[in-house]
């Protein structure tokens, strides 16, 4: 990978947010070109070997809920062989058992490709039992893991931790371009390869999101949810620092990755609030405004890389306006309910949600359910007691 250096950055306490980095070449070749080490060079080279090494330590979580099997297969084909895909499915079991279909697909595909994988159903009672001791908040009244994308992500993150993975990345399963999946994973590894600290996050900004306008292909830069989320996150940073910024361009990026050290120390929010909540959790825990539960991390610092992909992001966009509105409300609700949100910003968020006809005048967005960091789960016990062979072909235990 040949990647442009970030041109500027913003600090918020111990968090260092870098401006978006641009890809110059997706493949930098195997040899390290010493010219790129010059402090005057604006492009950095990350050779194959460095990316491969990181990928070996990385689990890629693929949340699935009733997606087309062809898309899921395409996503799998884009994940580098060195990574461990963990598919967490909340697909229907009845009347048609879509989970069973996913299971057959993964088994056949990964057998042919000699690709390792794990597949869990989010509502599997055995999976739920792992959380019964000290993470009951993720269980619903039936004792199973709650529905929702975030809840699937939390479970899969804990499983990757149990397997000793050092990095965790997320890729949605409704992606039409396997080439973009490969690029996202390579960008995650590129971010981690540049990190100076153990607590690192990498977020993808799609180069474009194509749609059809007037029978022509139109390469939009930002989706509606993304644009609105970024605006209010930047506003939050600006109000605290006193200097206006527009540096954050990846506020609710579903495609993002974290070092496990960081993933275990952030709080999660339910459903589609999860990504924006990661930002808010960074600001609350490491921003220096509120007391930090992790003083060691405060000293060392946290880095957030934003990487712009070359591939367009083409996913299933037939989910409708209600779905987008649900995501906007969830995303802004996390900002609104943060202890860091000033009154003036709360008012602006309420007005925005009213303008979009998501809320009525004076109504507050509903606070998403919050989940504590995963740090204190006793995953050593899981490693020994769980019959991993029931969940795929991963031999790395």
Which residues of the chain form contacts with ligand GDD (CB under 6 A)? 63-65, 67, 88-90, 122, 147-149, 152, 172-174, 223, 225-226, 252, 254, 272, 275, 315, 319, 323, 327
User: Closest distance between ligand GDD and the C-beta of residue 25, in Å?
Assistant: 27
Strand, helix or coil for residue 9: strand
DSSP symbol at 315: B
Strand, helix or coil for residue 18: strand
User: Closest distance between ligand GDD and the C-beta of residue 64, in Å?
Assistant: 5
User: Closest distance between ligand GDD and the C-beta of residue 329, in Å?
Assistant: 12
**Residue nearest ligand GDD by beta-carbon distance:** 254
> Which burial class, exposed, middle or buried, applies to 107 when counting CB atoms under 10 A from its CB (0-12, 13-18, 19+)?
middle
Beta strands in 272-367 (DSSP E): 302-308
Nearer to ligand GDD, 44 or 278 (CB): 278
Residue whose C-alpha is closest to residue 276's, from 289, 264, 267, 285: 267
Determine how many CB atoms are found less than 10 A away from the CB of residue 317.
15
Nearer to ligand GDD, 149 or 199 (CB): 149
* Contact in structure between 253 and 171 (CB atoms under 8 Å): no
Q: What is the distance of C-alpha 217 from the center of its chain?
A: 28
Nearer to ligand GDD, 80 or 152 (CB): 152
User: Closest distance between ligand GDD and the C-beta of residue 249, in Å?
Assistant: 12
User: Closest distance between ligand GDD and the C-beta of residue 11, in Å?
Assistant: 25
Tell me the two tokens of residue 160: 């990757």
Nearer to ligand GDD, 46 or 185 (CB): 185
User: Closest distance between ligand GDD and the C-beta of residue 262, in Å?
Assistant: 19
Nearer to ligand GDD, 21 or 90 (CB): 90
CA end-to-end span of the chain, whole Å?
Answer: 31
Nearer to ligand GDD, 85 or 254 (CB): 254
């Amino acid at each position: 990978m040949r990647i442009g250096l970030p041109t500027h950055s913003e600090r918020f306490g111990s968090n260092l947010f870098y401006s978006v980095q641009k890809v110059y070449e997706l493949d930098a070749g195997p040899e390290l070109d010493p010219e790129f080490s010059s402090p005057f060079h604006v492009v950095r080279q990350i050779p194959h070997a460095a990316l491969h090494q990181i990928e070996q330590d990385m689990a890629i979580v693929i949340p699935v809920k009733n997606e087309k099997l062809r898309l899921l297969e395409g996503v799998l084909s884009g994940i580098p062989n060195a990574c461990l895909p963990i598919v967490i499915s909340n697909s229907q079991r009845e009347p048609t058992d879509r989970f069973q279909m996913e299971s057959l697909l993964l088994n056949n595909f990964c057998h042919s490709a000699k690709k390792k994988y794990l597949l869990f159903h989010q509502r599997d009672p055995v999976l739920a039992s792992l959380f019964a001791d000290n993470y009951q908040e993720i269980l619903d009244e039936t004792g199973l893991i709650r529905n929702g994308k975030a809840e699937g992500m939390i479970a899969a993150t804990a499983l990757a931790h149990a397997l000793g993975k050092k990095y965790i990345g997320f890729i949605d399963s409704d992606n039409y371009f396997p080439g973009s999946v490969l690029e996202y994973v390579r960008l995650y590894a590129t971010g981690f390869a540049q990190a100076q600290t153990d607590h690192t996050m990498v977020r993808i900004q799609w180069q474009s999101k194509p749609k059809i306008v007037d029978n022509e292909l139109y390469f939009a830069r930002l989706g509606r949810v993304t644009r609105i989320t970024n605006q209010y996150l930047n506003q939050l940073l600006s109000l605290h620092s006193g200097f206006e910024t527009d540096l954050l361009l990846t506020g609710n990026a579903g495609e993002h990755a974290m070092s496990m050290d960081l993933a275990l120390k952030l709080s999660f929010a339910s459903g589609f609030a999860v990504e924006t909540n990661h930002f808010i959790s960074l600001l609350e825990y490491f921003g220096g405004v509120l007391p930090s539960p992790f003083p060691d991390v405060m000293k060392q610092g946290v880095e957030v890389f934003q990487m712009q992909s070359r591939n367009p992001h083409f996913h299933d966009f037939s989910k409708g306006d209600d779905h987008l509105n649900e995501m906007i409300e969830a995303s802004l609700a996390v900002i609104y309910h943060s202890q860091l949100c000033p009154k003036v910003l709360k008012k602006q968020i309420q007005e925005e949600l009213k303008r979009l006809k998501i809320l009525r005048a004076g109504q507050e967005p509903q606070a998403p359910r919050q989940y504590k960091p995963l740090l204190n789960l006793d995953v050593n016990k899981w490693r020994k007691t769980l019959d991993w062979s029931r969940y795929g072909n991963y031999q790395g235990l």
